[in-house]
Amino acid sequence: MEKKWWMGKVAYQIWPKSFADGNGDGIGDLEGIIGKLDYLKDLGIDIIWISPVYQSPLVDQGYDISDYYAINPVFGDLETMDRLIAEAKKRQMYVIMDLVVNHCSDEHPWFQEALKDPEGEYGKFFYIEEKKNGKLPCNWRSYFGGSVWEPIPGTNKYYLHSFHKKQPDLNWENPKMRQEIYKMMNWWLERGIAGFRIDAIINIKKKLPYKDYEPDRDDGLAFVGKMLDEAEGIGEFLEEMKHETFEKYDAFTVGEVFNDKPGAVEEFIGENGHFSSKFDFGPELCGKHGCWYKNETVTPEMYKEVIFDSQEKTGEIGFLSNIIENHDEPRGVSRFIPQEDLSEDAKKALACVYFFLRGIPFIFQGQEIGMENCHFPDIDAYDDISTLDDYRVCKEAGYSDEEAMEFAYCFSRDNARTPVQWSDEENAGFSTHKPWIMVNPNYKTINLKSQQQDETSVYHFYKKLISLYKDEAYHDTFTFGKCIPYAREQKNLIAYERKGEGVDLLILANFQKEPQKVTLPAKCEKVLLNNKDELRISEGEITLQGYQAVVIRM
């Protein structure tokens, strides 16, 4: 396998609005990020993914772009972005930006032109159709609720949006549109970014001609994702994109790819795949069945099966990007640890398990201090459009306000979007101004400053994880070694070996409060990491305390 610069690197996702506020207006910004680069460097981060900071009405928090060539003044300007890229480089860190090209904002000039003249050049940048025999082209339901078709005022035409109605889908079948996108991507790559996280990319290929699917709710609509199962040929677009853009820059690309089709691993992230990596969404999708009230609580056994499943499917074909959370998900510690077991040890055990899987570990802002889901006082305190829709769906299904709020507490995207808890000072040290969204009230106990002073904190554990990962003696094994599940059938034990490059490592985590014994596959040479003070090892056997996690060299 050809070795690439990004292999073995550690990545960190910044969701700018809630990361750090540089100018005291209550909203995170680029200056705020620059101020934290030393912090990230010291943590051990190499690659920084910054969620969208482009010009945008922020209906979907920047995933609705109205100018790809400009920075939203809320976040800063191009000069600040250039400085951020340069300051990161000085510290041997790489910046990747979010590439949102399945759709743009309805306020983008292309769409504004399309509204004026749906038959004209820019009309062809979108999917615009008329009703036939009084019927819309298809019954697809958008990700954020309602039909994907929205009327164009003053005409008999409709445009398609897979997400919000303020996010019209770009027409990838149009080569002119595609060239505009590549031009923009190269413009950013020329500015010195190291690559892209590629948003919602699987949606760019539609199953055409349009057709209805079996309705999956009382609204008579079918989830738009259903169409993706049948849409063929996305590879042609992605190969073209690769040749026209990132290949020329040796860029790192990580796709938001929800795709389980046979051959998808090889196609997307194999040696000649479309992207460098793709997120492993196995854990994120675990126990989800279409709407909040149908979701199951994830047990350690369920979690174990999904991560091993992804590892087995991927093998050494390519590199997954491993996560426990992101800006679209609740906090990982609140989701993957049984609520009654949530503790610092359990947080460290979860960190240990996901971090050493084969692939590229991504840390989402605040994860390194063990930030948890947030209790919002009422539905109006939420901001996220998707949360508001899911809440409505629960209410319509007959759930009480209290029940719907409990679902929101478990699943809302805003759980991950509260400000990073830097200290126990006012506004958690995020801003001198009242933040745009509430701070999790637990910031007095969960914050970076206090954890920095405590060697046993979750934060220091993350630092240890990263420095072990990068330790020269093990780095190649963690990067290129095989990942082999160990004692998979042993309940509430999540264990695997990393083997290769002359080293054998064993990762063990006990996901229950009660101790459990594990038979070792070989003699223990050295304990490299342990989230507790003690460890009981005897001849060929180890006894793990509740939520104890260890990394051992065999």
Q: Coil, strand or helix: which one is 177? A: helix
* Least separation in angstroms between CB 345 and ligand TEU: 30
Q: Of 10, 11, 27, 350, which lies in the binding site for Ca ion, with binding defined by CB under 5 A? A: 27
Q: Which stretch binds Ca ion (CB under 5 A): 14-22, 146-154, 324-332, 467-475?
A: 14-22
Q: Does 256 bind Ca ion (CB under 5 A)?
A: no
Nearer to Ca ion, 25 or 219 (CB): 25
Which one of Ca ion, ligand TEU, none is in contact with 199 (Cβ closer than 5 to 8 A by kind)?
ligand TEU
Q: Does 436 bind Ca ion (CB under 5 A)?
A: no
Distance of CA 254 to the CA centre of its chain: 10
Angle CA 74–386–71, to nearest 5? 20
Q: How far apart are CA 306 and CA 153, in angstroms?
A: 46
Least distance to ligand TEU, CB of residue 28, Å:
16
Instruction: Among 7, 25, 463, 524, indicate the residue that binds Ca ion (CB under 5 A).
Output: 25
Contacts of 206 (CB under 8 A, 6+ apart): 127, 160, 169, 227, 231
Closest residue to ligand TEU: CB criterion: 63
The partner in contact with residue 543, picked from ligand TEU, Ca ion, none with C-beta cut-offs of 5 to 8 angstroms by kind, is none
Q: Is the dihedral of CA 63, 67, 73, 75 positive or negative?
A: positive
What single-letter DSSP state applies at residue 297? Answer: P
Minimum distance from residue 76 beta carbon to Ca ion (Å) = 8
Query: Closer CB to Ca ion, residue 304 or residue 327?
Result: 327
The answer to whether 428 touches 419, Cβ cutoff 8 Å, is: yes
Catalytic residue among 21, 64, 199, 345: 199
Instruction: Indicate the residue among 28 and 137 with the shorter CB distance to Ca ion.
Output: 28
CA 198 to chain CA mean position, Å: 11
Minimum Å gap between C-beta 21 and Ca ion is 4
List of residues 6+ apart from 460 with CB closer than 8 A: 451, 452, 454
Closer by beta carbon to ligand TEU, 100 or else 360:
100
| Segment contacting Ca ion by CB under 5 A, of 21-29, 54-62, 329-337, 381-389 | 21-29
Pick 113 or 328: Cβ nearer ligand TEU: 328
29 vs 46 by CB, closer to Ca ion: 29
Contacts of 499 (CB under 8 A, 6+ apart): 477, 481, 482, 484, 505
Start-to-end C-alpha separation, the chain: 26
Q: Which of 217, 462, 227 is nearest to 356 (CA)?
A: 462
CB of 130 to ligand TEU, least distance (A): 26
* Residue 18 or 386 with smaller CB distance to ligand TEU: 386
Say if CB 69 and CB 184 are below 8 A apart: yes
Rounded distance between C-alpha atoms, residue 400 and residue 398, angstroms? 7
- To the nearest 10 degrees (0 to 180), the angle between helices 344-355 and 458-470 is 20
33 contacts Ca ion (rule: CB under 5 A) = no
Contact stretch for Ca ion (CB under 5 A) within 29-37, 206-214, 242-250, 406-414: 29-37
* 345 touches, from ligand TEU, Ca ion, none (C-beta below 5 to 8 Å by class): none
Is 256 a residue of the active site?
yes
- Phi-psi region for residue 63, left (φ > 0), alpha (ψ -120 to 50) or beta? alpha
Supply the minimum distance, in Å, between the C-beta of residue 393 and ligand TEU.
Answer: 11
- Our CB check for ligand TEU shows the closer of 25 and 389 to be 389
Asked if 384 contacts 412 with a C-beta cutoff of 8 angstroms, the reply is: yes
Instruction: Name the binder of 29 from ligand TEU, Ca ion, none, CB < 5-8 A by kind.
Output: Ca ion
Sequential DSSP letters for 473-515: HHHHHHHHSEEEE-STTSTTEEEEEEEETTEEEEEEEE-SSS-
Rounded to a whole number of angstroms, the minimum distance from the CB of residue 407 to ligand TEU is 13
Least spacing, CB of residue 413 vs ligand TEU, in Å: 6
Residues of span 338-377 touching Ca ion by CB under 5 A:
none
Selection from ligand TEU, Ca ion, none that 386 binds (CB < 5 to 8 A by kind) is: ligand TEU
Residue with tokens 């570990």: 361
For residue 318, give both structure tokens.
């390519």
Which residues contribute to the site for ligand TEU (CB under 6 A)? Answer: 60, 63, 100, 143, 163, 199-200, 256, 327-328, 386, 413
Q: Is 60 in the site for Ca ion (CB under 5 A)?
A: no
Candidates 15-23, 219-227, 327-335, 349-357: pick the segment binding Ca ion (CB under 5 A). Answer: 15-23
- Which helix (H) or strand (E) segment holds residue 69: the answer is strand 67-71
Instruction: Check: CB of residue 38 under 8 Å from CB of residue 21.
Output: no
- The question of whether 236 is a catalytic residue gets the answer no
Alpha helix ranges (H) inside 46-173: 78-90, 109-116
E strand or H helix that includes residue 311: helix 300-314
One of 256, 325, 345, 497 is an active-site residue; which one?
256
- How many residues interact with Ca ion (rule CB under 5 A)? 5
Least separation in angstroms between residue 257's CB and ligand TEU is 10
* 35: contact with Ca ion by CB under 5 A: no
Residue type, 51: S
23 binds Ca ion (CB under 5 A): yes
Catalytic residues: 199, 256
Note the residues at the interface with Ca ion (CB under 5 A). Answer: 21, 23, 25, 27, 29
